[in-house]
Amino acid sequence: MKHAMKHRVATKRWVALASCWVGLIGAGCSAGGGGGPSCRAGEEGCECLSGECVGGAVCVDGRCEAPSGGMDAGTPEGMDAGMVDPMGDAGPSGPADVGPNPDAFFAEDPPPMLCLEDGSMVSDPTPPGGTPECPDDKNREGCRCAPVGETAPCWPGLRVNRNRGQCMDGVTTCEPFDEFTGRWGPCEGAVLPDPEARLGPASCRCFSAGRWEIDNLSPCFVSDGTGTVTGAVSTFLSGGAPSCPSISSGPPFPPMPGTTWSTNRLTVDCEGRFELCYTLKAGDAESPSDADCVVARVCTETWYEERDATQELPELPAWNTMTAAEHACARQFSESGGYGEMSVRGLSVECDPIDDGEGGEYVFNRVNYCPSACNEPPVPPELEEECSRCMAGGSGSF
């Protein structure tokens, strides 16, 4: 990344002219008014004729005095209050030049805190270089650069949204400015967050773009002698295909001992600790309702280590319907179809809560399943359209 040139901001010095006679160039303070060598504020017999006094003092009513609070322009933005004018004479015991105040780099764009895998919270260790107005990590329009003609990534938005979801850097070009340097031109092509979006890619927040891949999403529905579904249980992968466990009694119908439901993996745009859940519901993914009954719900939790890298997660556990309500919901799912709901709740490495905005889980994808009749040809004419639209399950991009 090309760096904007650093600028030192000097404390502004004021020259008071009230009651001072403005004389010839080079006139200054004299001891006893006799035109002798210049003197410092407070020295015995020091009188000011014109111009600046030594050590940053000013001429007031014919005497060299230290600047008063009312005449001080204050500490310029981005500077530590202890910084001295590099052009002044602080003396051997004066305050050190401490440079720009790191906090000023983030006055309007604070760096996120870091929430680590062990649960601790720490501050972002180092601010970028540059100045408060021209931090090196953004290449802002109008900031100094070199060499002229060079291009570099640029970001006109907040750091917390950078490279999240739909957001991406633009490109800027170092344009001619003066004899020695250039300045960055407009940031072309940058994509910023939608100010109206709270969730999803347009919000450019953590967990706004990625994919949760689940290898097996098939449930197993168990019927009695009359063909009525009386419960459901998870399948297991055997030879790469889902299989129902051996059923000897029930309901409830136990899953195959020693098996899990599915392997799965995650690719997402930020690090953090996430709990991902998959919920089977009877209903329609196109028009979900809070009243939709639940067949089963399984979850996996992990610390996701590297943004945009595919990471294997702990396997989704086996499950089976246990209550009368779950058995009935399995029957409804089998007869009229249902869907799988993918959700997440967690905390990003930047301490950004991953939820629905109110502390609940964030549902980022829904997958429609087919009624069981779609799997048994010939498909009834009244189900042909629905069977052409639904699927047996799948992974979820967000």
Over the chain (398 residues), the average pLDDT of each successive run of 10 is: 29 27 29 44 52 55 53 34 33 40 56 83 77 86 93 92 90 93 94 88 87 92 90 91 85 91 94 97 94 98 95 97 96 92 94 90 89 72 74 58
Tokens of 243: 């299989």
Could you tell me whether strands 63-65 and 58-60 are parallel, antiparallel, or unpaired per DSSP bridges?
A: antiparallel
In a domain, residue 194? The reply is no
For residue 279, being part of any structural domain is answered with yes
Q: Is residue 342 part of a domain?
A: yes
- Residue 266 CA to its chain's centroid (Å): 18
Residue 397's pLDDT is 67
Provide the H-helix boundaries in the chain: 324-336, 384-389
297 neighbors 277 (Cβ within 8 angstroms)? yes
Confidence (pLDDT) at 41: 46
pLDDT of amino acid 114: 86
Give the pLDDT confidence score for residue 362 in this predicted structure: 93
Confidence (pLDDT) at 91: 40
Residue 139 located in a structural domain = no
- With DSSP H G I counted as helix, E B as strand and the rest as coil, what are the percentages for the chain, rounded to 5? 10, 30, 60
- Could you tell me if 232 and 254 are in contact, meaning their C-beta atoms sit under 8 angstroms apart? no
What does the block give as tokens for 78?
């981005």
C-alpha distances in Å from residue 13, one per residue of 1, 24, 47, 132, 273: 36, 21, 20, 21, 52
Whether 184 is in a domain gets the answer no
Which of 377, 393, 215, 361 minimizes the C-alpha distance to 295?
Answer: 393
Domain carrying residue 255: 210-397
SS3 388: helix
- Bridge partners of 262, per DSSP, are 316
Residue 100, pLDDT score: 42
pLDDT score for 78: 32
Question: How much is the pLDDT for 128?
Answer: 75
Determine the pLDDT at residue 276: 97
Give SS3 for 331. Answer: helix
Dist. CA 342–CA 274, nearest whole Å: 13
Residue 390 in domain: yes
Q: Which residue has the tokens 């052409």?
A: 388
* pTM listed for this prediction: 0.64
> What are the residues facing 340 on neighbouring strands?
280, 367
CB atoms within 10 A of CB 69: 6
Contact call for residues 346 and 115 (beta carbons, < 8 A)? no
Say how many domains are in the chain: 1
Q: Which of 108, 105, 185, 106 is nearest to 144 (CA)?
A: 185
Coil, helix or strand at residue 326:
helix
pLDDT value for 106: 52
